[in-house]
Amino acid sequence: MLKPGEKSVLVLQSSPKSRRLTARAVAATGAHCVAPPTGEESTQALANGPLDVLVVDWENAALAQQAVKLNPRLEVVLLTDRPAFERYAEDIMDLPMSSMIVSSFVAVPDANDPVATRELVTTVAKLFTGDIFGLEKYMGWGAAIREQEIRASQQAEGIVQSACEDAARSGMPERELSSLGLLVDELCTNAVWDAPVDAEGQPRYADKSRAQPVALAPNEYVTVRYGSDGNLFGVSVSDNFGRLDQDLAVRYIRKCFRHNDQQVSKSAGGAGLGLYMAFNSVSSFVINVDPGVRTEVIGLIRLGRAPKPPAGESLGTSRSLCYFRTKRPKKGE
Amino acid sequence: MQAKRNLTWRFVDSADLPTCVLEGIVGEDAGLDDLVPDIKGPARFDLSGVARINSTGVREWLRFVEAINGKGPHRLFRCSAPIVAQLNMIDNFRGSAKVESVIAPYYCEACGHELATEVTIENNTPKLPSPACAECGETMALDEMPARYFYFLSY
Ligand SMILES: [Zn+2]
């Protein structure tokens, strides 16, 4: 029985070890967590409801489809050691997910990775509370987060440089520094050029050449925050428009997984690749949106080495993609 | 202070083909159009100094590749990690050019020392070296899964 106000989570994972690790992480949020060992008990648990969050692995993903049909408010987290979005992107993106932690090493038998565990706890807690914004939620306590503001497009490169300098001081390996540079570059470009709209909702700069500098209006200023907690270097870039919806983000990222000549837009504005390239630069990519009010995109890069992927998974990489949206009660609710 | 994004290039003497060394950031202002007339026939491009290439830079680069494709066959060598990432991500990034070598990350399990070293590609296969660690003498290994870092060789 649930206590009043208690949240309920169902974990459907085939590997007993993964199931235990996941249940342990979920329990850290104070939720009531059920992790049934067999398919029959899973179906039973789904039918029993009420359920707030469902954590599934790849093998149980079909049950997620079913569960969301029954309960459209259900939040679904995919947690799998299936590697590389590159290979499974099309299928994964069709699932009714709030968050996808793909190839997380929480899910790998015998790997108990504190960074991945923290991310799962954060993900589930954000889904419960609706308190979605903030880089701090992904960083250990004590991390010094630096904040800078972009008021004109030309300032972005200076911020890229100072983030990279801070990261180098934090011990980020050389090759990750180039990923970080790309991440900050793309997120800033997106927030400066693509986010702003006028009163009629028309994009202000999206079709302009990126080579022409723009000075932003005060409501268009972009906030960039970054810092290290010794395990991760995190960056967040926020704008005041909240226009990046899940479908759009997924559409851009998914389009780019297809290796074909549609990958790069030939129009004057952005190349349509920015989100994909930012996503490819990080181990975790988080999109927080309060529609019409604010978008915050967070990228996290590991400072140390990720645990080794399962044997035989030559393309394996730990990478997650999470989308959170502020929910407002609809009229009459 | 406002840093300016830029890309520079210079031609260096080389035994066989004219060799163009590119350095810096390939972004919206890369200006690669200006390089097109200087590529008069098959050329080699040293890309070890390309520190970053962003999404608009990719578009500039693809346009450049298209413009010089007919004057090839060209060769790309010492491709930096950011270039390798694009080779793996973007269809047609190399055009019809052949990739001769890349800069790959190496790691010493024993002491944690890191090294970026050149890996040549022969018959579409990376020739992985086993360098000795400059710090402790142990053998260093590629710090990536080969199938992942050299994904571009598979298509
Ligand atoms: Zn060593």
Going by C-alpha positions, the residue among A187, A250, B55 that lies closest to residue A195 is A187
* A141 part of a folded domain: yes
Residues near ion ligand 1 (Cβ under 5 Å): B 108, 110-111, 113, 133, 135-136, 138
Same domain, A231 and A268: yes
* A325 part of a folded domain: no
* A313 part of a folded domain: no
**How many folded domains does chain A comprise?**
2
Same domain, A268 and A142: yes
Give the chain B residue nearest A86 (alpha carbons).
B89
* A328 part of a folded domain: no
**Considering A126, A145, A171, which residue would you say is the last residue of a domain?**
A126
* A332 part of a folded domain: no
Confidence of residue B38 (pLDDT cuts 50, 70, 90): very high
Same domain, A202 and A277: yes
pLDDT 10s digits, A209-266: 888 899 999 999 999 999 999 999 999 999 999 988 777 777 666 665 555 555 555 5
Same domain, A139 and A100: no
Same domain, A151 and A294: yes
Cβ <8 Å between A271 and B105: no
Domains of chain B by start residue, with CATH: 7-99 (3.30.750.24)
* A331 part of a folded domain: no
Same domain, A235 and A277: yes
Same domain, A260 and A153: yes
* A34 part of a folded domain: yes
Cβ atoms of B65 and B59 within 8 Å: the answer is no
- pLDDT higher for B145 or A329? B145
Same domain, A212 and A298: yes
3-class SS at A162? Answer: helix
Same domain, A51 and A70: yes
Backbone region of residue A244 per phi and psi (left: phi > 0; alpha: psi in -120 to 50; beta: other values): beta
Element at A49 (helix H, strand E): none
Same domain, A122 and A139: no
- What is the pLDDT, as a whole number, of residue B1? 37
| ipTM of the modeled complex | 0.90
Same domain, A141 and A209: yes
Q: Show residues of chain B in contact with A257, CB under 8 Å.
A: none
| Pairwise CA distance, residues A228 & A323, whole Å | 22
Same domain, A118 and A228: no
Q: A45 lies in which domain range?
A: 8-126
Handedness of CA A52, A55, A58, A60 (dihedral sign): negative
Cβ <8 Å between A271 and B3: no
Confidence of residue A79 (pLDDT cuts 50, 70, 90): confident
- What is the pLDDT, as a whole number, of residue A314? 46
Any B CB within 8 A of A261 CB: yes
CATH number at residue A17: 3.40.50.2300
Cβ <8 Å between A175 and B81: yes
pLDDT 10s digits, A124-169: 999 888 899 999 999 999 999 999 999 999 999 999 999 999 999 9
pTM recorded for the entire structure: 0.89
